Amino acid sequence: QVSGDVRAPLHAHASRRSPPTEMLSRPPTTVEQRFRRTKHKTNAHKAVKIRKAEVRKIKFTISKGQGPAVRKADSSLETSRVAFIGAGFCAGQPTDGVSHGPSALKAAGLGKAVRALGKAWTEQEITFPDVDLFEVCPDAGLHRVKDAVESAAADRAFVLTVGGDHSIAAATIAGMASVHRDKLAVIWVDAHADANTPSTSLSGNYHGMSAAHVMGWFEETPLGFEWLPEGGCIAEERLAYIGLRDVDAAEARMLRKSNVTVFSMHDVERLGIGKVTELALAAVDPRCERAVHLSLDIDAIDPLVAPATGTKASGGLTQREIIYVCTELALSKRLISMDLVELNPDIDAPGDPSTPPMHGDHPALSAGLSPTVKLAAECVIAALDGSGNAMR
């Protein structure tokens, strides 16, 4: 059942993303069940032929000691500067608080932590007009994000854009594609595909359409989005999903017909996060030569671990799994930009400043952080440093 007007146009005042009517695979288990089942996985090292699933179009064979290279270094993509772009855009969905993501991460000490890695840190905040303007002009200032990202990328900085909702991915990917063109690949980590179009979305919320928009699936360009090429800015075969588990029927149908690579949470359980990350990178960059953009939605993580997001879906990635993805992308030496979106500090579990830090916590981060804000900061650090709190 859908609340609000299901016939609503592309605007911010309808319901959330369209409610799920079709899942990619069997319902995922809880975090606790997955931990109990981990010891029973015995075939990860054996030759396994990946079967064709509902949405996947993967043509690799997993073999012991074989498979696509993941950590091929390309020194031309490395940089010692991080450009933080605060993009608290919240007009793509109806929940208050998501605009506070950038300020929460800065207050958490993320800039200090990045400097401790030996990287320069610059900050820029993008302001947006009143949300009500979204009904008149759906862009509502997203072109400012695109321009800021494009400028930072042209200046050869690592571009870190913190939202805000997932609408900003249309702007960040468009900005990165303006600089890297067909040498850009995207890893999209999310519980949702965000692959609806204005004609298929039941809610009209743009944050559930941004992936479709950058792939050129819209039938016509919405008012104000003339800055995004009509045919899209990223080819289907250069985008791979990790962690999907809450997908609308229309999205699933379009994904089946596409060249997009999809790894659902069922795939993560069946293959392991290591193999999924390896195959996702190989799918979008088989020759290990493209620049990689990570679009990370906090709701990809299980809400038991990261509750501060507006569109929760149970059975998501564990804390260790999301850190692993960020770490491996950093170790590939091809990760050049990152979105972190849908973080809503207003609904996070409270932090306790009196709680002593754990061994392995980054010393530059503030004490007593709320759990989702802390994990979001740790994801960024892992994506920049590649340490993953482990010796390598």
The catalytic site residues sit at 166, 190, 192, 194, 207, 297, 299, 342
For residues 298 and 378, what is the distance between their CA atoms, to the nearest angstrom?
12
For residues 138 and 147, what is the distance between their CA atoms, to the nearest angstrom?
17
Structure tokens given for 256? 């089946």
The answer to whether the peptide bond before residue 388 is cis (omega within 30 degrees of 0) is no
Instruction: Kindly calculate the radius of gyration of the chain based on its CA atoms and give it in whole angstroms.
Output: 19
Sign of CA dihedral 94, 96, 99, 104: negative
Structure tokens given for 284? 């979008």
- Helix ranges (H only) for 119-272 are 142-154, 168-180, 210-214, 249-256, 265-271
Nearest to 378 by CA among 110, 66, 100, 71: 110
8 A C-beta contact, residue 166 and residue 210 = yes
CA angle 174, 87, 373 (to 5 degrees): 120
Strand, helix or coil for residue 337: strand
Structure tokens given for 12? 């911010």
Classify residue 367 as exposed, middle or buried by CB count within 10 Å of its CB (0-12, 13-18, 19+).
middle
251 Cβ neighbours under 8 A, 6+ residues apart: 193, 195, 196, 200, 212
Half-sphere exposure of 33 (CA within 13 A, CB side): 9
- Buried b / exposed e across 192-230, counting CB within 10 Å, b at 16+? bbbbbbbebbbbbbbbbbbbbbbbebbeeebebbebbee
